Amino acid sequence: MKAKTTLIIVDDHQMVAQGIASFFKNDEDIEVIGIYHSATEAFAKIKLLLPNIILTDLDMPGINGLEFAQKIQKEKLPCKLVLLTMHLNQAVVKEVLKQKLDGYLPKNADKAEVKACLHVVSSGGTYFSPKAMEVLMAFSQQIDITGLKKSQNLSEREREILVLIAEGLSTREIADKLHIAIRTVETHRKSILEKLEVKNVAGMVRIAVQEGLLT
């Protein structure tokens, strides 16, 4: 039997944190193993529990969500990071891309979107809410991209897979959609990383957005 993906929620609003936790009460794949109301409180526990995913609020007293994510990354803890915030603007979305977080959720996201996001992230994908994608698209239109686009080095199939990755599909979902083997998707994924000169999915998403591959 497959082990459940473990989740820790960090939010200084108790009702918000408890509400999100309730979404996963009977979930077959994701289990909430901790709720904390400050980054300081959560950090020591996370180093012991090593959850698969951390869902953290942006606006918290003391250390905010982005600073908290930086602390997790500096410790090289193997946790995926999803930011929860009411701020849907270019500055925050750009910072999420810069820090290579795994997801971005607005605080008004409903149960279906929260669950969809965390299932995508648990499968190795990156999730940006539809509203966040609109902000990213608007941002990409302001960027002056000189010279050849990096995506021009990709084959047609690699560009197709890049778009699906940026849309949050897992390797298995891409394989099913394109009717190809999972190993083939993994081979293309490795090639895309090398050709785009990025290290992870967040880097792929950034280039897909900047070069106008998403519609």
Sheet holding 53-57, edge to edge: 30-36, 5-10, 53-57, 80-85, 103-106, 127-128
* The pLDDT value given to residue 143: 46
Q: Which residues pair with 215 in a beta bridge?
A: none
How confident is residue 140, by pLDDT bands cut at 50, 70 and 90? low
pLDDT in tens, 181-209: 999 999 999 999 888 888 888 788 878 87
**What domain range includes position 105?**
5-138
Distances (CA, A) of 189 to 118, 129, 164: 21, 23, 11
Task: Give the CATH number of the domain where residue 69 resides.
Answer: 3.40.50.2300
pLDDT in tens, 56-67: 999 898 899 999
pTM confidence score? 0.66
Cα(first)–Cα(last) distance of the chain, in Å?
38
Question: Could you give phi then psi for residue 61, rounded to 5 degrees?
Answer: -65, 145
Domain co-membership, 97 together with 151: no
Q: Is residue 215 part of a domain?
A: no
Number of structural domains found in the chain:
2
- Where does a domain end: 113, 138, 163? 138
Judge contact between 171 and 182, C-beta under 8 A: yes
- Distance, CA of 106 to CA of 92 (rounded, Å): 11
Task: Give the CATH number of the domain where residue 197 resides.
Answer: 1.10.10.10
Judge contact between 7 and 42, C-beta under 8 A: no
